[in-house]
């Protein structure tokens, strides 16, 4: 499912030939053609290379490559930084460039999120930027009187995939469970990345710390980080000469673990370039199903509305502070953030182990219909197809019945989806339906106990 959006730019993005100023034209956001930032970039060549990397990921399909497509990266102006984000055409790689306070010599004059026009002439101009070249960056048109601008409006129609929206939500839920696993300096990082297989390799490797460097292995061990499709890290290589370190993040694994996602971050004092890889090259983040359990709760939509009203544009979102302000548990706040992530409202920064605020031009009410398994699960519940008896349940679906069992809080099912994925891509629709029914029963039981106590 995809929608086609029309983005209007006052003129193409570009670099002025006289003074080298970079103007990124934007569309949408809280105001027409908003200007989030105006000022100089303290590391111009690094910023140019990082922005090119994010744009290149948006143009690339790493699985079953096709001709490059142009999708405009998303830019968010926060309290003290700019974030540029994109997904690959196959939705299996999430890229983000964080331009940190040390990288900006100017003011964030507006908070918000919009799309940035990174066109072919701009890519060519960015490729010529040197570190000695002064580069002034204006995110948005350089004239505030946009309603009276006499210049031509560039109309640009681009496919706006719902996969990007689902991918943003899945990535923030998945990466919120990551921990730092390894850090090596730029010299070791350069040598390590040069040793990796090329872009056509789709094997799943594992990386373990080995002294000051990293070692590749074919099997997972405690402390290892999954590297699925090593060629998908190619976008990091041009940025290596600006980096001080390579940091790697991932979930806990052990012997017998299957492929999992991982995050690879090149950092410098002024900015960070991050790539997050899906568990396998053929798997896009949009189908991982990590958000489904959080979205299935009856209260999650109301909780999300409450949490949304409390969000600020701080660099990171404090879950505990939100829980206190909303009067909710931290678990319910995280579920609400998953709902907001599906509406494009929040992301997760593994480097700071915190959520950050963004606003994409999507309808929050569409969160559920963007997850077909959740829609199907609610239809099963509404149709009375779920029968629960203790830790077992039967779900009538189509011409058959499926048995769902709870073991230590983990649901398993006899359907083909479960047999194929074993829960690695989220719950099936039958397990989701059982979760919805049992959660509603728990709420009713709590209400009855409260009445008795009163």
In DSSP notation, 121-169 reads HHHHHHTT--TTS--EEEES-S-S-GGG--SPPEEEEEEEEHHHHHHHH
pLDDT one-digit tens code per residue, 190-245: 999 998 887 666 789 999 999 899 999 999 999 999 999 999 999 999 999 999 99
The Cα angle at residue 309 between residues 32 and 303, in degrees rounded to 5: 130
Strand, coil or helix: what is 216? strand
Give the end-to-end CA distance of the chain in Å, rounded to a whole number.
Answer: 50
| Distances from the Cα of 309 to the Cα of 187, 313, 330, angstroms | 45, 12, 16
pLDDT at position 141, please? 53
pLDDT at position 101, please? 92
Kind and range of the H or E run holding 59: helix 44-59
pLDDT one-digit tens code per residue, 169-180: 888 888 988 999
Tokens at 424, concatenated: 């690695």
Strand, coil or helix: what is 44? helix
* Domain spanning 172-287, CATH architecture: Roll (3.10)
Strand, coil or helix: what is 103? helix
State how far the Cα of 143 lies from the Cα of 141, in Å rounded to an integer.
Answer: 5
The Cα angle at residue 300 between residues 294 and 305, in degrees rounded to 5: 130
pLDDT one-digit tens code per residue, 5-55: 556 777 778 777 777 777 777 776 656 666 777 878 889 899 989 999 999
Kind and range of the H or E run holding 173: helix 162-175
Q: List the domain boundaries for the chain.
A: 2-84+97-160, 172-287, 298-344+358-370, 372-454
- How many Cβ atoms are within 10 Å of 192's Cβ, its own excluded? 18
Q: Are 50 and 273 in contact (CB under 8 A)?
A: yes
Q: Are 277 and 261 in contact (CB under 8 A)?
A: yes
Greatest CA separation found in the chain? 78
CA 100 to chain centre: 18
Q: Where do the H-state alpha helices sit in 281-428?
A: 292-295, 300-310, 319-326, 330-342, 372-382, 416-421
pLDDT one-digit tens code per residue, 309-334: 888 777 778 888 889 988 999 888 88
Tokens at 370, concatenated: 């963007």
The answer on pLDDT for 342 being more than 90 is no
40: burial class by Cβ within 10 Å (0-12, 13-18, 19+)?
A: middle
Handedness of CA 308, 310, 315, 320 (dihedral sign): negative
The answer on pLDDT for 441 being more than 60 is yes
Q: With cut-offs at 50, 70 and 90, classify the pLDDT of residue 373.
A: confident
């Amino acid at each position: 499912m995809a929608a086609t959006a029309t983005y209007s730019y006052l003129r193409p993005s570009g670099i002025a030939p006289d003074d080298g100023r970079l103007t990124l034209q934007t569309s949408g956001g809280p105001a027409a053609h908003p200007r989030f930032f105006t000022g100089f970039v303290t590391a111009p060549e690094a910023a140019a290379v990082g922005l090119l990397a994010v744009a290149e990921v948006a143009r690339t399909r790493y699985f079953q490559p096709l001709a490059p497509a142009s999708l405009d990266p998303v830019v968010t102006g926060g309290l003290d930084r700019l974030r540029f984000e994109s997904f690959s055409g196959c939705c299996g790689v999430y890229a983000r460039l964080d331009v940190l306070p040390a990288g900006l010599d100017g003011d964030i004059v507006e908070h918000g999120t919009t799309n940035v026009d990174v066109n072919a002439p701009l890519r060519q101009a960015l490729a010529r930027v040197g570190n000695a070249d002064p580069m002034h960056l204006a995110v948005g048109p350089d004239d505030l009187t946009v309603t009276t601008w006499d210049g031509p409006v560039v109309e640009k129609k681009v496919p706006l995939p719902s996969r990007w929206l689902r991918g943003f939500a899945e990535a923030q839920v998945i990466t919120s469970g990551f921990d730092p696993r390894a850090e090596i300096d730029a010299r070791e990082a350069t040598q390590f990345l040069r040793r990796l297989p090329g872009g056509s390799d789709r094997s799943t490797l594992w990386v373990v710390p080995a002294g000051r460097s990293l070692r590749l292995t074919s099997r997972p061990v405690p402390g290892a980080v999954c590297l699925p499709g090593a060629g998908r890290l190619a976008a990091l290589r041009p940025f290596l000469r600006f980096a001080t370190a390579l940091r790697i993040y991932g979930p806990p694994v052990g012997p017998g673990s299957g492929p999992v996602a991982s995050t690879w971050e090149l950092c410098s004092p002024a900015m960070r370039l991050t790539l997050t890889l899906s568990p396998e090259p053929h798997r896009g983040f949009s189908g991982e199903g990590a958000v489904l359990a959080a979205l299935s709760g009856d209260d999650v939509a109301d909780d999300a509305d409450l949490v949304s009203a409390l969000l600020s544009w701080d660099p990171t979102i404090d879950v505990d502070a939100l829980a206190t302000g909303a009067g909710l548990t931290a678990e319910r706040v995280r579920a609400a953030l998953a709902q907001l992530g599906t509406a494009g409202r929040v992301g997760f920064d593994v480097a700071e182990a915190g959520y950050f605020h963004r606003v994409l031009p999507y309808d929050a009410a569409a969160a559920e219909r963007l997850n077909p398994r959740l829609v199907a699960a609610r239809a099963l519940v509404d149709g009375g197809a779920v029968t629960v008896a203790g830790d077992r349940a039967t779900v009538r679906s189509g011409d058959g019945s499926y048995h769902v069992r709870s073991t230590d809080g983990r649901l398993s099912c006899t359907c083909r989806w479960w047999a194929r994925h074993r829960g690695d891509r989220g719950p099936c629709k039958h397990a989701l339906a059982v979760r919805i029914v049992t959660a509603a029963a728990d709420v009713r039981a709590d209400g009855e106990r409260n009445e008795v106590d009163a």
